[in-house]
Amino acid sequence: MIKTVFFDVGSTLIDADPDIDGAFHEVAARRGHELERAEVSVHLPAVNRFYEEEYLRDGDFWCSPEGSVEMYLDMYRYLSHLTGLGHDAEGIAREVNESYCRPAHWRILDDVLPCLKELKRRHLRLGIVSNWSSNLESLIRGLRMAPYFDEIVSSADVGYRKPNPMIFTIAMERMGIEAGEAVHVGDRPDADGRGAEAAGIRPIIVDRAGACEDCGYATVRSLAELVERF
């Protein structure tokens, strides 16, 4: 019997708002740089590749408060150089990173709150298991989502990151449940699917874009569809 639903955070519950190009453009303008947003946007594919390559090469940057911050600073420094602002890369990178520590720079996805409310109405306990920096709990509180969750577990706080099953084991211990009593919902088959499965938890991949139908795990196109699974 399922008693607990764990959730990933990024692209599952919330998205950056504005995206990196918008946040970078805002910071650059505040620092006196004349730059069109399109001059930033054109480099987003390269920045996204930078993140994915770092994640696949050694995603253990998520396992410490310092590492999770430094990776993003490197990414924003890289974007500064791509846009010709390398001379101010350090200042821009730190301001962009600080902006994403604030709830105002994140948007709760449209299908999230109705789903959380309904799951709570059905007396399910909810938790978060996410590869995230140490500011995760304060961010969730700032977004006024904390009352829905019984536990919030971030990789930087516990020293393990998905797909390592230890992060799920820690979350289960905190919740006082067994693996068969939980499901985990996230957007990445490699982290959320493989990690939850390794911990004995049934994974469900939220696949809003329809890109993960052949991933080997159960999928839903929205969290509204998730509710129908319980």
Residues 37 and 82 in one domain: yes
Which of 104, 123, 149 is the last residue before a domain boundary?
Answer: 104
Closest by CA to 161, choosing from 37, 28, 64, is 64
**Of 66, 85, 104, which marks where a domain is finished?**
104
pLDDT reported for residue 213: 86
What's the token pair of residue 7? Answer: 């959730």
Q: What is the pTM of this model?
A: 0.94
Same-domain pairing of 211 and 120: yes
State the helix-helix crossing angle for 65-82 and 20-30, rounded to 10 degrees: 70
Q: Whole domain around residue 191: which residue ranges?
A: 4-14+106-227
Output the pLDDT for position 69: 93
Say whether both 25 and 110 belong to one domain: no
Q: What is the pLDDT, as a whole number, of residue 26?
A: 97
Give the chain's residues under pLDDT 70.
none
The Cα 167–Cα 59 span in angstroms is: 14
Structural domain count of the chain: 2
Rounded CA gap, 66 and 58, in Å?
Answer: 15
Cβ contact 10:129 at 8 Å: no
Same domain assignment for residues 84 and 151: no
The rounded distance, in Å, linking the Cα atoms of 129 and 170 is 9
Instruction: Indicate whether 141 and 166 sit together in one domain.
Output: yes
* Cα 174–chain centre separation: 21
Q: Is the dihedral of CA 50, 51, 55, 61 positive or negative?
A: positive
Residue 230: the pLDDT is 79
**CATH code (residue 199):** 3.40.50.1000
Residue 61 DSSP symbol: G
Residues 119, 9 share a domain? yes
CB-count exposure of residue 26 (10 Å: 0-12, 13-18, 19+): middle
Q: What is the pairing mode between strands 4-7 and 14-16?
A: unpaired
In angstroms, how far is CA 192 from the centroid of its own chain?
Answer: 11
Residues 125 and 97 in one domain: no
| pLDDT number for residue 32 | 97
Q: Quick one: 222 and 127 in the same domain?
A: yes
**Which one, of 171, 176, 119, lies nearest residue 147 by Cα?**
119
Structure tokens at 15: 């998205």
Which residue has tokens 């009352």? 147
Which of residues 41, 70, 104 is at a domain's end? 104
Amino acid at 166: M
Question: Are the beta carbons of 71 and 58 closer than 8 angstroms?
Answer: no
Asked if 127 and 199 sit in the same domain, the reply is yes
pLDDT in tens, 85-141: 999 999 999 999 999 999 999 999 999 999 999 999 999 999 999 999 999 999 999
Closest CA to 199 of 184, 219, 215: 184
87 shares its domain with 111:
no
Let me know whether 195 and 99 are in one domain.
no
pLDDT recorded at residue 9: 98
Q: Assess whether 88 and 191 both reside in one domain.
A: no
